[in-house]
A and B are shown apart, each in its own frame.
Chain A
Amino acid sequence: GAVVSQHPSWVICKSGTSVKIECRSLDFQATTMFWYRQFPKQSLMLMATSNEGSKATYEQGVEKDKFLINHASLTLSTLTVTSAHPEDSSFYICSARDGGNTIYFGEGSWLTVV
């Protein structure tokens, strides 16, 4: 099946700093990518929908100035958590839609803010 690569898998950063997470579709072009957040033992919470070459669409309650999303090419979307705080510690997952209607997920990135 299609592969979506997410990097880094684990990241620890200091409070107040920014951290960038990359999401790449390795063997297909993804016009649409999605970013999710997942707390332990809870389901995926959609943060934003990212379309190549345009601004991301954020879900209600998600601060777009804090969670910067860039979808610069058909194979890469990035999520930057700005001025991270301990409450931002979570599991962040991206997904990408292929040319059809199938969505594939990355392996996720664990963010710990200390």
Chain B
Amino acid sequence: QKEVEQDPGPLSVPEGAIVSLNCTYSNSAFQYFMWYRQYSRKGPELLMYTYSSGNKEDGRFTAQVDKSSKYISLFIRDSQPSDSATYLCAMSLNTGGFKTIFGAGTRLFVKA
């Protein structure tokens, strides 16, 4: 079993839709949770970062963490074609040099 599971998609939605991206994890010691967006042939860009259960909102993006279920989500409201990218969830321990484990990434296509 992988430490972090993420459906690779692809996920295709119409413009304006609400997108839900999810990851599950097995290590209850993970303390920090992140979402990255990666455009083709580019390095990942940090979108959201949180370390507690609950919701964190930033513009059209909402990150949700449920530590009891070991489940995290990223919601994108009013999705735009420019949101088309691969979204990677990531989580870290606060030990061992802050090693970060990434999900496989979900490819998202937002159709105009």
Contacts and interface: CB of A to CB of B under 8 A. Distances in A.
A102 B46 contact: yes
Top 5 closest pairs, chain A to chain B, by CB: A108-B43, A105-B43, A43-B104, A107-B43, A49-B97
A110 B42 CA distance: 10
Interface in A53-87: 57
Interface of B: 32, 34, 36, 41-46, 49, 51, 88, 90, 92, 94, 97-105, 107
Contact of A106 (B43, B46, B49, B98): B43
A105 B35 CA distance: 12
Contacts of A106: 43
A95 B97 CA distance: 13
B46 A51 contact: no
A102 B100 CA distance: 10
